Homo-oligomer: A and B are copies of this chain.
């Protein structure tokens, strides 16, 4: 009878227009020059903490040890330009903060074009795009520009100025825990170290903020831990300080990134491949967005690398529309506010919320009697037998009960009987209220 199971969609309730809000936040934050450290990160975290209703901020001194790493020096930049002999600023940080290689040392020199070329970065295959380049762990300086601009540079001398500071200071990050009835925790994380690019990365932090706002506005069974860090080093630092707690409590986690465009969703498994995070995202995408792209663990490239490293082994995977590296505007000035939209952000919000709501309802039940319970005396069964069996809801009820063995969670039951878990959850909850089932989730 599986073919008869209606695959009717369950609507997710998202409150008033989070898509519009998220897009506005992204517009406000777009001009800020973020990096691993520095005031751009602080500005961004202050703004997001404000819209999400509170965020704990942490300042970690440069040099702090975390596993195999140390927190780098703090970088701040005020201005930077390359000026030709006529006094024209042919490259100017004030026009686009991607023009300067992240973590560039201060410099004030005059160079020939040939000498300057050693410090320039452009993309021949995308001649209109300014590439995004950083050099966090080797001291150097450089400028990025479009290949067309680079080709237009004439021989001559150029004055090069970068007014930056790269010195001991602090790395800043934010986190907040929204407690639920259980200490079982869903981890949501995104990163705040990229300058003016919209899909990667601003879409992630604004989605995280919108989810935080909603989760704070309601009662939850699960606890939510939200983290906004600089990529890699921030996550490594966070894990070095919270690993035991995270391993004890986190049941699933997602790295939110590239979630503002309108393209297909992506699924990239954890190293183990079958954690709750994998199961719920795969289930939601299978049921509601089946055209999604499937990647392997080998395609990972963001903070899931740290969460899935041996010994850390936390159930964390990316949540993304088009995956990093797989869309043309990635890591260039083309990844601007036109790549994302209120509708794209809203869609991602609804999809992640569906995952969250399914995890909220993903209990394990045990039938309170042996053999099938008598549904008829509870008004859950047709009283007159007919040739073609019973309807869809009765069928789902009977099939769900057949798997309520105290070991299979609702996601497992929904997969076994071929229906979306969010159709199954209210049926199970009604049966539990009616005394037919007991919830045995530990």
Contact = CB atoms under 8 A, between A and B. Distances in A.
Contacts of A296: 2
Nearest to A311: B370
Contact of A134 (B297, B373, B385): B385
A71 to B, nearest CB: 12
A132 interface: yes
B417 A367 contact: no
Interface string A94-136: 0000000100000000000000000001010000000111111
A193 to B, nearest CB: 11
A388 interface: yes
A343 interface: no
Given A69-B374, A370-B240, A402 B134 contact: no
Interface in A196-232: none
Contacts of A384: 101, 133-135, 138, 140, 142
Interface string A354-385: 00000000000011011111101100000111
Main secondary structure of the interface of A (DSSP, over half): loop
A67 B367 CA distance: 12
Nearest to A436: B68
A383 B137 contact: yes
Interface stretch (A155-163, A168-176, A403-411, A420-428): A403-411
Nearest to A331: B387
A235 B372 CA distance: 11
A7 interface: no
A404 B134 contact: no
A432 B318 CA distance: 30
A125 to B, nearest CB: 10
A388 B310 contact: no
Interface stretch (A15-23, A41-49, A299-307): A299-307
A239 interface: yes
Interface in A328-343: 330-332
A107 B123 CA distance: 90
A418 B299 CA distance: 13
Given A298-B418, A332-B387, A388-B325, A68 B374 contact: yes
A409 B376 CA distance: 43
Nearest to A388: B325
Interface string A4-43: 0000000000000000000000000000000000000000
Contacts of A138: 376, 383-384
Contact of A2 (B235, B271, B298): B298
A316 to B, nearest CB: 12
Contacts of A325: 387-389
B137 A310 contact: no
A386 B124 CA distance: 13
A83 interface: no
A426 to B, nearest CB: 20
A194 to B, nearest CB: 11
A403 B308 CA distance: 10
Contacts of A235: 371
B309 A371 contact: yes
A400 B418 CA distance: 37
A192 interface: no
A389 B301 contact: yes
A151 interface: no
Contacts of A101: 384
A399 interface: yes
Given A299-B1, A374-B69, A402-B305, A386 B133 contact: yes
B68 A369 contact: yes
- Considering residues A66, A312, A376, A387, which has the most beta carbons from chain B within 10 angstroms of its beta carbon? A387
A236 interface: yes
A60 interface: no
* 3 pairs of A and B residues whose beta carbons are closest in the complex: A310-B405, A138-B383, A68-B369
16 contacts: A2-B299, A67-B370, A69-B374, A123-B387, A134-B385, A135-B384, A142-B384, A236-B371, A271-B402, A298-B417, A298-B418, A308-B402, A309-B367, A310-B366, A310-B367, A310-B402
